[in-house]
Amino acid sequence: MLALSNRGATPEQLPIISGTRMGIEMIRGAAGSGKTSTALLRLESLAHTFVARRKRLGLAEPVKVLVLSFNRTLAGYVEHLAASQLAAFTDVTCEIDTFAAWAHRCLGAPSIIDDDEREPMLRRLGAGVALAPDALLNEIEYVCGRFRPAERANYVALERTGRGNAQAVPRTLRPAILQVIDRFYTELVAYQGGGWLDWHLLAEQMLTIPSRQYDIVIIDEAQDFSANQIRAVRHHLSDPYCLTLVLDTAQRLYPRGYTWAETGLDLQLARYHRLRENHRNTVEIAQFAAGIVDGLTVDDDGTLPDFSAATRHGERPLVCAGRYKNQLTFAIDWIKANVDLTTETVAFLKPRGGKWFKDIRSALDINGLGFVTITRDRKWPIGPENIALSTMHSAKGLEFDHVIILGLNAENTPHGDGADDEELLLLRRLLAMALGRARKSVIVGYKPTEASDLVTFFKPDTFNLLAV
């Protein structure tokens, strides 16, 4: 499977890549603008700067680099480019991982309660709270991600930012939610004899150990890290340091709801860069993706997909309406007729994983088309297969020549009522992000009698409709 590689810097990227000032850099940009590669291409020049400083000061320790990604798949995807930037250095160490895996390793691999155990505990403890169970879980994730344990009482009064138009949880319910959280952590102390953490406590524990003194840190998709995770990274910076935040809240999949100032980062002297050109998508793909998120509220860190920033032209996205079996048959035949699998990549993406890929796996096997499943896989596949199966979440930050999304139905895209429902807004961003992974072509399929509400956001004249 082809991974992220150095295609050469663009005129937009060159001034950013050549900069070697200490402090905080924020790289923002439209989907497909090369935000991640820009940050990684800075590694070589930054490493030279810190190595020279080490020699000047007579310091023996190697320069320490940390690259954190949003998910395990993305960590594997960027590893090749990061390693190539630092290949010539013998006095530089580099760690590339997700926050969870990095923190777990730094803390000596403590026991972490599985989400399949944790969520039922929270649902049971929160049964008396007047919120839908999924909404309650989402709110608990927000509270535990934004506030340190000793400061959770601040949740009652503080507003949540970044919610779009969705209504905040009433203040009258917030004390009860805090009680659920407190009872959960009380039970966790005794869980299976004690000694267990959850992922939120992992971030808190990282704030209590001595700083690991990283000189260069890159956080990719930083908008999806919780406030406590950012606080933990800040704790482990050296002095001086160079911290690069790569972000685009138009792609935000999880509602973190905090301001950067809360994390302790001093952004007054930060340098901001915005990449505007869309180097990945064709004009037609960008128009289709932009239509799905048209009208969404975006904060200052976000840039919606901008079809005016794309310059290459191609075919319009193809939307197939019909039975799932027919969608799949069409997609397989289309790959055979149009894709050179020795030089091009294809991604079958879905909102959810597991059983939802069963028929695709079977069809690819029957047709002799090799594939790999990359959802949550830390190791990027190195075999010859150039067809990938992945959830949309795990595809975040990745790039493929062709993206195929079949079976877009109501069952695998559930949400609440109303156009301002937060889950619906997240699903719209999720789909737009998934479509934005494509360089050359997009195929989307749905069954009209079971269609997802997301289909209603397909703007006329941005796609070709085919009955299958």
Do 79 and 121 share a domain, yes or no? no
Q: Residue 200 is inside which H or E element, if any?
A: helix 199-206
Average confidence (pLDDT) per 10 residues, the chain, 468 residues: 67 85 88 82 91 94 93 76 86 93 96 94 95 91 95 90 61 96 96 92 97 96 91 97 83 63 87 86 92 77 60 94 97 96 94 91 96 75 84 87 96 87 88 92 96 95 96
- 260 within domain boundaries: yes
DSSP letter assigned to residue 278: B
**pLDDT (0 to 100) of residue 224:** 85
Distance CA 278, CA 281 (A): 6
* CB half-sphere exposure, 353, CA atoms < 13 A: 13
**pLDDT (0 to 100) of residue 354:** 84
Angle between helices 227-235 and 133-146 (to 10 degrees): 20
- 5 within domain boundaries: no
- 27 within domain boundaries: yes
Do 116 and 226 share a domain, yes or no? no
Cis? peptide before 15, omega within 30° of 0? no
Do 409 and 337 share a domain, yes or no? yes
35 has binding-site annotation: yes
End-to-end CA distance of the chain: 30
36 has binding-site annotation: yes
DSSP letter assigned to residue 3: -
**Residue 20 token pair:** 């070697």
- 177 within domain boundaries: yes
Burial of 112 (0-12, 13-18, 19+ CB in 10 A): middle
Q: Residue 312 is inside which H or E element, if any?
A: none
30 has binding-site annotation: yes
- 203 within domain boundaries: no
Domain boundary pick from 275, 297, 320:
275
Do 326 and 401 share a domain, yes or no? yes
HEC string of 306-333 equals CHHHECCCCCCCEEEECCHHHHHHHHHH
Residue type, 155: Y
Do 434 and 385 share a domain, yes or no? yes
**pLDDT (0 to 100) of residue 249:** 55
Distance CA 292, CA 442 (A): 14
Domain boundary pick from 232, 256, 275:
275
Burial of 384 (0-12, 13-18, 19+ CB in 10 A): exposed
Q: List the 318-321 sheet strands across, edge first.
A: 372-373, 387-391, 346-350, 400-405, 438-446, 318-321, 464-467
* CB half-sphere exposure, 409, CA atoms < 13 A: 14
Residue type, 218: I
Do 290 and 421 share a domain, yes or no? yes
Do 232 and 303 share a domain, yes or no? no
397 has binding-site annotation: no
**pLDDT (0 to 100) of residue 182:** 97
Do 95 and 121 share a domain, yes or no? no
- 4 within domain boundaries: no
Do 306 and 261 share a domain, yes or no? no
Do 237 and 294 share a domain, yes or no? no
Domain boundary pick from 139, 166, 198:
198
Distance CA 223, CA 302 (A): 9
Residue type, 115: D
Burial of 194 (0-12, 13-18, 19+ CB in 10 A): exposed
Do 268 and 192 share a domain, yes or no? no
Q: What is the CATH number of the domain that holds 339?
A: 3.40.50.300
Range of the domain at 358: 283-467
**pLDDT (0 to 100) of residue 295:** 87
**Residue 52 token pair:** 């020279």
List the beta strands (DSSP E) in 309-386.
Answer: 318-321, 346-350, 372-373
33 has binding-site annotation: yes
- 9 within domain boundaries: no
194 has binding-site annotation: no
State the residue for tokens 């200490």.
22
5 has binding-site annotation: no
Q: What is the pTM of this model?
A: 0.79
Binning the chain into helix, strand and coil, the percentages to the nearest 5 are 40, 20, 40
Q: Are strands 63-69 and 111-112 parallel, antiparallel or unpaired?
A: unpaired
Do 258 and 377 share a domain, yes or no? no
